[in-house]
């Protein structure tokens, strides 16, 4: 995979051995059942996929004032191939993607046109120059007029990558651009009929980044379509997958089994964790595979948490320990910490990509959690660009964003 300017990850103390526990909640009388963890809001907030209106307003103010790192991040976006107003969309009726996008028959074109549509939507909001909104619409219309299916083994993951990005663009254009989008209904139909069926049921036995990316897409699409049923289903899968992907000592001596999967013995679990049999706070299911896929999983996890917060349920307070340890564990090694022999046989494949800005902002800026390694990694790699799949411009949208 190709990377733009990446973003960073976070600090973790590897020697931490005590389990993290929460005090039981006291009840006045019999305990009442908790509300559904996956319940959609009664009314969706728009724009509300990864970026809220308040967040976008913050970014616009910073860029218009020429403040850093936002102005530099914005300039980098406009200077990239994704910000080019001369870009020609390359839609296909059928996108065929095999393992590791081989064959790549429309896969890169689809992902990158989606990122371009999102880039133009951000440029429209920040500049209020209609030419960017029109370009975003041109890209979305080109694909909604043509695509019918995704095929081959990577079809669900490819649908997750592109399906995560399209609704981010569409939310900004539909809910902030008043110049008209005649084919908006056709675009919504594309999301509902082409993308959502590929991602909504997850992939329980695949590496966990698949299901997290697919839920990133499913949640975003559900918000854009005001589809409460699909939102509930996607959030339930996400809330089951996150604790099975990022380990905490409080989980017990081994990670949780991935829900709905056929993995149900310790030997199968160790194999699923790529041979790792020593577990510490922050370790991820794909750490011993490589940091690239782990970074994608981190990004997707934070994207869903961010959208959930915009839609009324803030997941960060309840998941903060899992998130901060995951960020910090990987940040330490990405920054060059020596790899102990018990971890992945003493060898790691680094390259986490621009995966940390959203999580770092949520935990550090908003919750005030100290994350020194994550800070060093995130700030040291600004402005975060794109890995050309589904992570894009997150220094611009989320650096020090309090909203």
Query: In terms of Cα–Cα distance, which of 342, 338, 359 is closest to 350?
Result: 338
Q: Is 33 left (phi over 0), alpha (psi -120 to 50) or beta?
A: beta
User: Which of 19, 16, 20, 14 lies closest to 342 in space, CA to CA?
Assistant: 14
Share of the chain above pLDDT 70, in %: 91
Indicate the helix (H) or strand (E) that contains 155: helix 155-176
Confidence class for position 4, pLDDT limits 50, 70, 90? very low
pTM: 0.91
Cis-peptide into 383, omega within 30 deg: yes
SS3 95: strand
Q: Are strands 51-52 and 48-49 parallel, antiparallel or unpaired?
A: antiparallel
228-245 and 208-225 are packed helices; what angle lies between their axes, rounded to 10 degrees?
A: 160
The predicted model gives 287-301 an average pLDDT of 98
As given in the structure block, the two tokens for residue 74 are: 């914005």
Place of tokens 């102990």: 340
DSSP letter (8 states) at residue 33: P
Q: For the segment 170-193, what is each residue's pLDDT rounded down to a tens digit?
A: 999 999 999 999 999 999 999 999
The pLDDT tens digits for 318-355 are: 999 999 999 999 999 999 999 999 999 999 999 999 99
Burial of 358 (0-12, 13-18, 19+ CB in 10 A): buried
């Amino acid at each position: 995979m190709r990377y733009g300017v990446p973003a960073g990850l976070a600090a973790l103390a590897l020697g931490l051995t005590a389990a993290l526990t929460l005090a039981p909640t006291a009840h006045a009388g019999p305990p009442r059942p908790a509300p559904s963890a996956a319940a959609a809001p009664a009314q969706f907030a728009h724009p509300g996929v990864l970026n809220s209106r308040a967040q976008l307003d913050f970014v616009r103010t910073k860029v218009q004032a020429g403040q850093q790192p936002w102005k530099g991040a914005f300039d980098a976006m406009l200077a990239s191939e994704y910000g080019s107003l001369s870009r020609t969309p390359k839609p296909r009726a059928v996108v065929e993607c095999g393992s590791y996008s081989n064959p790549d028959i429309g896969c890169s074109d689809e992902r990158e046109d989606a990122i371009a549509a999102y880039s133009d939507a951000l440029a429209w909001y920040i500049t209020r120059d209609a030419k960017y909104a029109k370009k975003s619409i041109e890209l979305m219309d080109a694909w909604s007029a043509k695509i019918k299916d995704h095929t081959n083994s990577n079809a669900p993951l490819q649908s997750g990558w592109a399906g995560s990005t399209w609704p981010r663009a569409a939310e900004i254009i539909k809910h902030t651009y008043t110049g008209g989008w005649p084919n908006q209904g056709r675009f919504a139909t594309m999301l509902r009929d082409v993308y959502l069926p590929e991602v909504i049921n997850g992939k329980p036995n695949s590496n966990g980044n698949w299901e997290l990316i697919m839920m990133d897409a499913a949640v975003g699409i559900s918000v854009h379509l005001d589809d409460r049923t699909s939102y509930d289903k996607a959030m339930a899968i996400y809330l089951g997958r996150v604790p099975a992907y990022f380990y905490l000592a409080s989980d017990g001596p081994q990670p949780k089994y991935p829900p709905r999967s056929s993995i149900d013995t310790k030997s199968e679990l160790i194999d699923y964790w790529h041979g790792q049999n020593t577990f510490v706070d922050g370790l991820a299911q794909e750490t011993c595979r490589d940091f690239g896929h782990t970074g994608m999983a981190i990004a997707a996890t934070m994207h869903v948490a961010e959208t959930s917060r915009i839609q009324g349920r803030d997941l960060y307070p309840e998941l903060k320990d899992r998130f901060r340890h995951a960020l910090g564990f990987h940040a330490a090694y990405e920054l060059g910490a020596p790899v102990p022999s018990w971890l992945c046989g003493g060898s790691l494949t680094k390259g986490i990509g621009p995966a940390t800005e959203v999580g770092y902002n949520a935990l550090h800026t908003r919750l005030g959690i100290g994350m020194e390694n994550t800070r060093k990694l995130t700030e040291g790699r600004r402005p975060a660009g794109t890995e050309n799949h589904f992570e894009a411009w997150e220094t611009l949208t989320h650096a020090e964003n309090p909203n």
